[in-house]
């Protein structure tokens, strides 16, 4: 066959005839497909980042263009096409900045101009009562996509029995939309007898990777606000459940201890505030009091938990009552009203204080009268729920 003799016109026609290279799947779809094929317990190799296929497609487009049209770019023959390719590559790059951690996880950092953070903060009881329609709330525990964190997610509901609200949200909420995995509770039949939650699973429905955080997840669901204190397990009506590692377990006592809170960024744009208890740590390993907890909240933690307090920020803690506390900022630091990180810092402090049984918190020397939904010139009280998810 006689070799093709390339010239500018033929190269241009060839480029125009090439099909567009674009992955039609969303980043979330790609992640879930890869996640389903990876055995968590073996941890073999690094996980495939969700951005790899779209990025590969873009790279291929650049390589093809570089092979076939160097002279055209030089001579200006297809400058417009070159601009289009460069624009698409830049767009892919701007959509997601990624950093690879030492254990192979992908930590995503989004540009606020292209992908605003979907931050799920707590709510105040006063906001539930501010409308004519009576409203309530409920919290359900879910897992992150690596099964390394038990993340409490709260929902605004109609007034009802707490257990009924849990069952309703387990059916309604789609955790993948917020970058989370399903809750093991979604596979169970959940009832109650007085102060005891009865969880009935089909045999073999709890995966080994879910087991280490299961107790924490259940406590975050049922023991918050002192709702329930005990859970009993059943297997298709029979007493106890046979876990992969724990063996046969009939039940657990439930407790959510006081603990420092940190930021967790999901693979989506969703951001949550979770405590060290969510990472599977025992109650005995937590700081003994609020003062000690605040001291560690400026430190990076394992499992993707990031600090929300600036490094070496020294906060003065003064106990003013059995359930009230004053927290004073140093002169060297002032809050900024339009800084989302600062609002998240206030939320993290409020949630940490609440976990240590302080229902009322007064902030001093902030330099502001208000930030986000909070008036800083008076005590803040009535914090309810955690990581409130508002349905679209």
Contact call for residues 244 and 206 (beta carbons, < 8 A): yes
Does residue 228 register a pLDDT over 90?
no
pLDDT the model gives residue 49: 39
Of the candidates 296, 167, 147, 288, the one whose C-alpha atom is nearest the C-alpha of residue 222 is 167
Q: Which two tokens stand for residue 14?
A: 């060839």
CA distance 79 to 125: 59
Residues sharing a CB contact under 8 Å with residue 332, sequence separation 6 or more, in sequence order? none
* Pairing of the two strands 189-193 and 374-375: unpaired
Q: Which two tokens stand for residue 190?
A: 């959940």
Q: Which two tokens stand for residue 55?
A: 């990025």
CA distance 370 to 42: 49
Average the pLDDT over 130-152 and give the result: 90
Average the pLDDT over 294-316 and give the result: 94
52 - beta bridge partners?
A: none
Give the start-to-end residue ranges of the domains of the chain.
8-109, 117-306+384-392
pLDDT the model gives residue 107: 32
- Tens digits of residue pLDDT in 307-364: 999 998 999 999 999 999 999 999 999 999 889 999 999 999 999 999 999 999 999 9
Q: In the predicted model, what is the mean pLDDT of the chain?
A: 79
Contact call for residues 149 and 264 (beta carbons, < 8 A): yes
- Tens digits of residue pLDDT in 40-79: 344 433 333 333 444 444 444 443 444 444 443 344 444 4
Q: How many CB atoms lie within 10 A of CB 367?
A: 13
CA distance 246 to 244: 6
Q: Which SS3 state, helix, strand or coil, does residue 255 take? A: coil
* Pairing of the two strands 270-275 and 118-119: parallel
Contact call for residues 372 and 346 (beta carbons, < 8 A): yes
| pLDDT band with cut points at 50, 70 and 90 for residue 187 | very high
- Tens digits of residue pLDDT in 66-116: 444 444 334 444 444 444 334 444 444 343 333 333 333 333 333 333 335
CA distance 151 to 315: 27
Helical (H) or strand (E) element with 53: helix 52-68
Does residue 127 register a pLDDT over 60?
yes
């Amino acid at each position: 066959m006689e070799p093709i003799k390339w010239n500018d016109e033929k190269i241009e026609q060839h480029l125009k005839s090439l099909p567009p290279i674009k992955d039609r799947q969303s980043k979330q779809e790609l992640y879930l497909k890869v996640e389903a094929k990876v055995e968590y317990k073996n941890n073999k190799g690094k996980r495939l980042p969700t951005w790899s296929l779209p990025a590969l497609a873009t790279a291929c487009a650049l390589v093809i263009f570089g092979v076939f049209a160097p002279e055209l770019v030089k001579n200006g023959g297809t400058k417009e096409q070159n601009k289009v390719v460069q624009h698409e590559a830049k767009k892919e790059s701007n959509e997601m900045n990624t950093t690879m951690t030492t254990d192979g996880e992908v930590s995503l950092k989004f540009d606020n101009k292209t992908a605003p953070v979907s931050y799920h903060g707590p709510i105040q009881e006063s906001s539930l009562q501010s409308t004519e329609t009576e409203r309530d709330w409920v919290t359900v525990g879910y897992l992150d996509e690596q099964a390394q964190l038990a993340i409490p997610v709260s929902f605004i509901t109609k007034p009802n029995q707490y257990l009924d609200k849990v069952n309703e949200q387990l059916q309604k909420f789609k955790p993948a939309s917020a970058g989370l995995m399903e809750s093991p509770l979604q596979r169970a039949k959940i009832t109650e007898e007085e102060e005891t939650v009865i969880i009935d699973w089909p045999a073999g429905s709890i995966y080994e990777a879910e087991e280490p955080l299961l107790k924490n997840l259940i406590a975050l669901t049922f023991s918050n606000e002192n709702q329930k204190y005990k859970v009993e397990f059943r297997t298709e009506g029979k007493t106890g459940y046979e876990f992969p590692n724990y063996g046969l377990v009939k039940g657990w006592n439930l407790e959510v201890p006081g603990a420092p809170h940190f930021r967790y960024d999901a693979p989506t744009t969703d951001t949550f505030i979770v405590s060290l208890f969510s990472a599977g740590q025992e109650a005995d390993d937590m700081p003994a009091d609020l003062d000690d907890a605040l001291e560690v909240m400026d430190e990076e933690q394992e499992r993707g938990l990031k600090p929300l307090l600036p490094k070496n920020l020294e906060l003065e803690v003064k106990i003013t009552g059995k359930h009230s506390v004053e927290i004073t900022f140093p002169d060297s630091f002032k809050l900024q009203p339009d800084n989302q990180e600062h609002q998240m810092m206030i939320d993290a402090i409020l949630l940490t204080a609440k976990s240590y049984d302080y229902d009322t918190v007064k902030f001093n020397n902030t330099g502001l009268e208000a930030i986000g939904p909070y008036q800083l010139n008076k005590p803040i009280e009535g914090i309810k729920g955690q990581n409130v998810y508002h349905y679209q």
